[in-house]
Amino acid sequence: MLTGLSLVMRFFSFFPSVMDHDESTYMVIADAVRHGQLYLRDVIDTKPIGIFTLFAIFQTLFGKSILVLRIITAIWVALTAWMLYLAHRELIKDSSDSKNPAPVASGVIYVFIISIFTFYGISPNTEHFFNLFTITALFLILRYQGLLWIYFAGFLLGLGFMIKYVVLFDALAIGLFYLWRQVMAHQKWMYWFSRCALMAFGFTIPFASIWMYYRQLGMEDTFMFYSFELSGRYIINPPWYDYVVYIMDGLLRFLPVTVWFIFCSWHWRTIGAGLPLLSWLWGSLVLFIILLPGKLFAHYFIQFMLPLSLLAGSFFDKRRSPGPALAWMRKPFIGYSILILIIVVNMGFQKADYFDKRDYPSAAAAYLNTRLQPGDILYTANAPQIIYLLTGTSSPTPYVHPSLIWDKDNRSALGIGRDEEWNEILKKKPRFIIIKNNLKPDNPMLPVLDTAYHQVQTFGRELVLFERN
């Protein structure tokens, strides 16, 4: 059911070549890694290696089709929702009602809220993938007490950490909750200490393995820079009200789920302290790390969707009495009617946004595929880097995501020079350069495009293709 729901909810998002440039970067770098290039040397991004390794595995098993990778993401979302259902079921397994609808509600809520807004979940990003590791780890520590399962839960959290380092705060929340459960169960300190230590050990294994890999390549300093120092350089301090707007925007766009979350938090005693405590501890730590860098990107909020869905689903627990103001939401006829309406409306908007619009990056790639010769070099400049994947070419610069060169803040964090990188690209004499038609007057590409290149094609009002004279 969850897989079918996820596929239907995200159907029209399978087709465009670009929804978000981060996803394009993952695909292009994954393909480069599969062909022997080394991450952090030949191709560079600010993320840990995990997301590129995962995409490389997908491409090896299922091919480079963007549509197939989007379907995989939809199935991944459904698997995450299923593990959320299992974790919720474990948290309330002492309930006398074995057919409690709350766990199913949590899974369905997760699929819905992650499949409505482009940058809050439709466009695949790191959060989609590490969420499965974190929720699976939670399920394992709830379901099993054996040492091997505890170690494996920590190892899964470590794998998520290698997709994005913010998973450390998911791990901290899950670890603290596990500790609380053991103390409340009056376990001896040696029992819970040994298991917490084993979980922490499992968490370190993926990072230690990657560190050793780069160390034997003589790239230990590079690995440590991208792992630790770079993150500190990205922290900014926006005005306090930007934080408020970000949080309120994230919460209000998912009404009435937010109302259910607040209601279950306020009436926490109805089903006991465990589920509300976990959700608030987890949600608070996640919100802290989301807000800490000050960047406030929409896709960061996806990390919060797990604790949000977990507790919001409890609104449908039969032991709760929501009162006349909210009880209508739990009536099957009304509830199912609203769900069907949301699906239909959502698909209508997605069709208009993703399916009906002209796909200019694909059009540009199709045109280039009729012109490119073996050995030709293409530079996508500030245009969508997915064109590399669609044309079977490689980026002439290690910095695949164009913002790493052309955005001032990114350049400063990475310690690279814009003009120097542009000159390195020019030394490779790219035959084609494709740009978005919005270059600033001081951009060093403009003089070169005016003198050494000529315009050969445009794609809509957005993309302009130049060929070397």
Cα–Cα distance, 465 to 469 (Å, whole number): 13
So what's the pLDDT on residue 323? 80
**Are 277 and 330 contained in the same domain?**
yes
**Are 308 and 431 contained in the same domain?**
no
Q: How confident is residue 38, by pLDDT bands cut at 50, 70 and 90? A: very high
What pairs with residue 463 in β-bridges? 436, 459
Which carries the bigger pLDDT value, residue 174 or residue 411?
174
**116 CB contacts (<8 Å, ≥6 apart)?**
9, 122, 253, 342, 346
Cα 465 to chain centroid, rounded: 31
Average pLDDT on 84-107 reads 87
**Are 275 and 391 contained in the same domain?**
no
- Summarised one tens digit per residue, pLDDT across range 45-77 is 999 999 999 999 999 999 999 999 999 999 999
**Alpha-carbon distances, residue 60 vs 36, 46, 167, 205, 393 (angstroms):** 13, 23, 26, 25, 18
**Are 345 and 413 contained in the same domain?**
no
**Are 305 and 376 contained in the same domain?**
no
So what's the pLDDT on residue 191? 85
**Are 9 and 108 contained in the same domain?**
yes
**Are 330 and 399 contained in the same domain?**
no
**Are 414 and 324 contained in the same domain?**
no
**Alpha-carbon distances, residue 457 vs 15, 21, 465 (angstroms):** 24, 23, 5
So what's the pLDDT on residue 44? 95
Residue 394 has pLDDT above 80, yes or no: yes
So what's the pLDDT on residue 119? 93
Domain boundary among 324, 352, 380: 352
Q: Where does 395-459 show beta strands of DSSP type E?
A: 432-436, 453-459
Residue 282 has pLDDT above 70, yes or no: yes
So what's the pLDDT on residue 95? 62
Domain with 136 in it:
2-352
**Are 134 and 166 contained in the same domain?**
yes
Domain boundary among 298, 327, 352: 352
Domain boundary among 334, 352, 370: 352
What pairs with residue 388 in β-bridges? none
Average pLDDT on 436-447 reads 88
**Are 420 and 293 contained in the same domain?**
no
Domain count, the chain: 2
**Are 386 and 288 contained in the same domain?**
no
**Are 301 and 370 contained in the same domain?**
no
